[in-house]
Each structure stands twice: as structure tokens, then as C-alpha cells.
Structure 1
Amino acid sequence: MNLLLLSNSTQHGRDYLGHALDTVTGFLPAGARLAFVPYALADHDAYTAKVRGALAGAGIDVRGVHEGGDPSARLGEADAVFVGGGNSFRLLSTLYRTGLREALIKAVGDGLPYMGASAGTNMAAPSLRTTNDMPIVEPPSFEALGLIPFQINPHYLDPDPASTHKGETREERLTEFLEENDVPVLGLREGSWLRVEGDRAVTGGERDARLFRRGSAPREIASGSDVSELLRITAAFDARA
């Protein structure tokens, strides 16, 4: 697998993809034909135009998979695929409906580089179960692409000890997930990402990550850390869900 999984595509005070542009353009070299999957947002044309504008200066040719013909055929014409952020439930539902879910699994398994941001990063995990999103639609299954064997929580937020809000923190929600499922969760804070090349996985970006495992306290993972051990785990999900 050749993956770049961003926690977020927009960083406060930066242009779209600006905080990770050097990493993105290293992953997508000049002249690359990039198939963009815009299904996490409602306006596919506007979303594709936004990505096209952000990467035009790097000489990357962005083509939306919705722009005429079979979306799956766009993968065969591309040098890489980018699955954008938005609502993860809407994204996964559309991947199922268009047949693009199966096409992505095959294409990436055959070597097509995959870049995801936010919801697109959620898709790389086995399941949708650690997304932060509201289920605005109901996909046929929570089963995502399974490009990696562990879960990711993009946009991970640390508990704020000064907050008066009494709802569950992100850490509490991930702890609840681990009570029902025995699979690690890598919390990616804003500005961080995960790079996977073959059997090697390394965290990156401006901020550290946080790793959650059943039966142990959450652990800080410094940016630049090798987390390849996570690629060798066997996930155990609650079959009732």
C-alpha cells in the first residue's frame, strides 16, 4: 500500500491543503493525474474545483470521478486517487452506491497511491465506527475500505480541563469504542498525518498523534514515529453492530 492519510485538509490560517502542501506534492509529483472523489460534500463540482485550484501550482491534473462516465473508470486513468473530507456517512454510502468502494479496494491493492483527508482518511480504516460525523444518511454497512487494519480518528481533540461542557470528550468516546471492539485507534490531531509505504507506517505533521488500545492508557506518539506494528494487528469488531 502507498497511502497518505491526513487528519484535515484545512488548517486554521492556511489555504486549503496549505499546511501539508510539501508532503502532498511529494506524494503526488508534478504532472500526476489525480482522480478526486468529492462524494463527502453535496456540491461535487465546486469541491473538485477547490482541489484543482489548490494543486494547480504544483502541476497536478485533478479530475473528479463524477465528471462523466463510470467513476471506477477514472481510477484506471489516474496516477493516484484523493478521497476528500466532509461527511463520512454520505461518502461511504455513495462509494457503495456507485461501486467505487470495491474499485478502490482493488486499485489501491494493485498499487494506486491513495490520499485521504478527514472522511477520506476514515475510509482507509476497516470501519466507519470511529468517525466524528453525524449519520445524515445510512450506508449499507459500516465496513469501509480496510486499507489498514486499525482505526483512525481524524481531527482528534484533547480534553479541555477548563471547559464547562459536560458531553463526552473524544477520549471518552474512543474508550467506549474499545469497550466493544478490540482494535487500536490512532487519534490524528489537526495538522498531522500518517504515511504508509508497504509494510512501514510513520506519523508526520506539525502535531503528535495519540494511540488508544484496549486495556491500556492512551499513549502519545511523536510526529515522525514509526508505527509499523499497527499494520500487523488483527482487528476484532463486535459482530452485532
Structure 2
Amino acid sequence: MVLVIVVAVLALLAGLLANRHLRPRLITADDNEGMAVKDLVGPLLTLTVLLLAFVLVTASGSYGKAEVASRGEARALDQLVETAEYAPAAQRARVQADAVCYARAVRHQEWPAMADGKGSAAPSVWSTDFRRAFGEVQGKPVFGMLVAADSKRSEEREERLTQATASIPSAIFWFLLATLTLTVVALGICLPRRNNRGQLITLALITALLTTTLCIIRDVDRPFGGIIDVEPTAISEAERQADRDFLINHTAAELPCDTDGDRRRATT
């Protein structure tokens, strides 16, 4: 970091010194002629576009990983429910009920929290209960399959929570905003003062495009909140299937959680 700053400053000083002392010896024409402001705006605009494109690709990659993790978690949960069919009746019912409650907790509590880059402790209540149920079938062939499916679910959830946090540091975002501002101002300075309707419209369009790109970057970098977000469609489907399997031999009243995935309080 320090090296980059030092080299940039030295390059700027070298350019200014060359302009002051070397240029008069090389140029014989009028010294007032040279690069105009509009000649310097071109590279600045190119730099701004390249930076926005690079950061947009990075943010899009984070969004894609979040969507893949969400689907992977739902598939692992569905596999866990299907594997529980090979367990004894008591453990099968417990795992299926916990799967329904886990999916509800993810959908109703953790999903809204991820809009702010946070998680929720509610799903962990049911993942802990998974392991307790697994302990009751330890030593049986189904034990290894249940543990493998739950490990996959845990990994996908961890990846989902990781992608919920912004992948682009705030410093980079503010740098992009400053670069955009400087570019637009520089373009405005280069506009003619008269007969400039076409140029004004073009500047407005360029400003709108650059601003929209930056807004998209900001939105996509937070894949679980905003306009472009990952919906809990996959986990909702996993919940529906787990609920269907559980209700084959039980009633909804036997589920240990409410509709939001919170554990029911014991009634006397």
C-alpha cells in the first residue's frame, strides 16, 4: 500500500517537473498549446467504467454463491428427511419434526436478519436437536447417513451466512462514489456553454448509467436484502416436503414449534 502511494506521488512529481523544465526544450510551438481538460477526461471515464465493471463482477459472484448455498442447504435438509425414513419410528418422527421447525426458523427469522448481514440463533436450536436424535441411533447403519446429510446442511448454512455479509468493503464503495462524482464533474466542465442541449442529454444519460451501475453493485452485494435478493423459495419447498412426510403419521399439533420456528412452551 505504501509503495503504491509513494510511486504514484513520485510519478506525479516527475510529470510536473518534466512539464516545467523538459517540455520547453522539446516543443517549439506556442507553449500554451497542450492537452485540454477534455483530453484528460477520457482516461478518467475509462477508469471509472473499468472499476465499476470489476466490482460489479465481484458482487455478482457473491450473489451467485449465496443462491447456490441456499439451494444446497435446502437439498441437504430434504436428504436428511428422506434418510430419516430408515431410522426407527421415534427417531424418524423427531428428525422430520425438527426439519420442519428448522426450515421455519430459517425462513421466518434468519432470512430477515440476513438483510442486515446477521444470522439468527433460532435454527441452531433445531440443528442441536438433530444431533441429539442422531445419538439415539448411534451404531446403526442409518447413523452415518444422517450425520453426513447434516454436515452438508451445516456447511451450506455457513456459506449462506458468509455471503450475507457485504463482500465489497465500504472504503471501496466510497472510492467508487468519489470517482463517479469526479468523472461527472469533469465531464460537465468540458461541455460548451451554448448550443449544448445534445451534450447535456448525453451527460445526463452517462450519469444515470454510472449511478445505476453503482446502485446495482450496492444491492447485489447484499443478496438477502434490497430489490435484487435471494428468495427463500428452496427452503420453503424443503419445509413443505418435510411437513408432508411428518403429517403422514402425526398431526400438526405434535410439531414442537410454532409457525415461526420457535419452540412451543409446555402447557399445564
- Greater radius of gyration (CA): 2
TM-score range, shorter chain: under 0.3
TM-score normalized by structure 2?
A: 0.17
TM-score normalized by structure 1?
A: 0.19
Say which structure is richer in helix. Answer: 2
Which structure has more relative contact order (CA 8 Å, sep 6+)? It is: 2
